[in-house]
Chains A and B, each alone.
Chain A
Amino acid sequence: MIFPHSLGAWTHVLRIWIGDNMLADSLLFKLFVFPGTVFSFIIVLFLFWWWRKIGASIQSRYGPKHVGPSGTLQTIADVLKLITKESIVPEMASKWFWFMPVFSFVLSFLFLSLIPFSDHWVIIDFDASLIMLFAVMAIEPLFIFLVGWASYNKYGVAGGERAGIQMLGYEVFLALTFVPVIMMSHSWSLVGIVYAQGVSPTWASPVLHTFTNRGVWFGFVQPLALVLSIIAVMMAVEKKPFNIPHAEPEVLYGSSTEYGGPFYALQMLSQFLMGFLGAGLITTLYLGGWALPFVPPAVGFVLKTLVVGTIIIWLEHSLPAMRIPHFLDVAWRKLVPLAFLNIFITLIIMEVLGWA
């Protein structure tokens, strides 16, 4: 990008950032309000409460009850409490100790930028955004490891190592579950994939998306792929039963053992944000993105994501954690062949439906 060299150039750049007529067109608004920072905090606050309520109902108890109506403000109370706590830094921790959790939060934010809440409400939109998303998801375990490494704690490093082990398991499987979607939609961009499911564009996008319109949500055509994707996404965002890197009876709290107070709050929020985004990814790929009758596009996206998120939360609370050898065994010996089978089935379905 050329540095703005004149007043005219500066004005041009500022116009793009702040926007001409509609505030809602501006990049700043999208970054910071919706679907950016403010919205992500709100949705995380909601999701944390929802996670606790469903978990509690499954376990025959009530969950948060007293703070706010039916406990909805409990998350705010917890976050405020955590922020006001003293943050204890180990003596020998590296000088990057402070930065690491921030980096991983930024990474989840990058993930957020790629997910289309609608074809207008998306921060980064170009014709290969699925590839970039995959790359972002692949870097994440590295940051988990660095978080553990920076804390100079045996259990932190052990937890970080386990993030690497988990990545060995799910990476290939995750990539393979994306393939049928790409095959069916003929598009590498997330917005294009949504268009390919029969959703009509809500505005004239400056980016040219290549896609082939199939007219039906992919989840109905390929339920097996939907199930496998849910499993893959649960592995990627480390939800039980695949929560090997963190929060298990074995490695205290995994890579973030030494991070207390505000950092713990940041990591909790980033974890739930990733959960939301994982569900959002599934909605985009299989459930028609933002299209829902009678509601505006972005609201439709959020509602559908919350439904998928609820299913993931239910699965998470109902299953125990897996051992590492069992996990690797299942991932490579059972799930990767299933993913290949899935691709094969997709080919057959495409042939049958005439979607060559």
Chain B
Amino acid sequence: MGLIKPLLYTLKELFKRPVTVKYPYEHRDISPRVRNIHTLNRDTCQHCGICARMCPNNVLKMVDGYPTADYRYCSFCGICVDACPTGSIQMIHVQEHALVRANDKELYMELLNPDGTPYNPDAPADVPEQEGGVF
């Protein structure tokens, strides 16, 4: 009967290894194209502000000529990357950079360096220090 087949399938599955990835003890390889967080190459940035203008959610704000990001509203679409004429702003795939917000004020973060390390080692008071680099 059609009832027996599902029982056999589940019996077989009972003895197979689960597919779960035991995060955070195990990690999965992710594609390098994944858009997890921005990086900024401050040497090639032309301060044109196109990235800030193109952002659909007004995430980027130009501060001292460089873009800073308010990650509460970022949707990680990558339009800022497409818009940048020099390719200075990029998005990298490193994970595990959860940012802790201390309060509800406007929170603009300095963008990371191209290799993923934080730009400003003396972080401002309301941004908790990130453990050096991302892993």
Contacts and interface: CB of A to CB of B under 8 A. Distances in A.
Interface of A: 54, 56-62, 65, 314-315, 317-319
Given A59-B13, A61-B20, A314-B7, 15 more contacts: A54-B14, A56-B18, A57-B14, A58-B13, A58-B14, A60-B16, A60-B19, A60-B20, A61-B19, A65-B22, A314-B10, A314-B11, A314-B14, A317-B10, A318-B11
Determine which residue in A60, A65, A315 has the highest number of CB atoms from chain B within 10 A of its CB, and name it: A60
11 contacts: A54-B14, A57-B18, A58-B10, A60-B13, A60-B20, A62-B18, A65-B22, A314-B7, A315-B7, A318-B6, A318-B9
Contacts, number: 36
Contacts of A61: 18-20
Closest 8 A-B residue pairs measured CB to CB?
A318-B10, A60-B19, A58-B10, A61-B20, A61-B18, A60-B18, A57-B14, A318-B7
A317 to B, nearest CB: 7
Nearest to A241: B3
Contacts of B10: 58, 314, 317-318
Interface residues of B, number: 14
Nearest to B6: A318
Contacts of A62: 18, 20, 22
Interface in B61-105: none
A92 B68 CA distance: 55
A255 to B, nearest CB: 28
Contacts of A317: 10
Contacts of A60: 13, 16, 18-20
A146 to B, nearest CB: 34
A71 to B, nearest CB: 13
Nearest to A63: B18
Nearest to B16: A60
Contacts of A54: 14
B3 A319 contact: yes
B7 A57 contact: no
A38 to B, nearest CB: 31
Contacts of A57: 13-15, 18
Contacts of A56: 18
B3 to A, nearest CB: 7
Instruction: Tell me which of B9, B15, B18 has the highest count of chain A C-beta atoms within 10 A of its own C-beta.
Output: B18
A314 B13 CA distance: 11
Contacts of A314: 7, 10-11, 14
Interface string B33-56: 000000000000000000000000
A315 B10 CA distance: 9
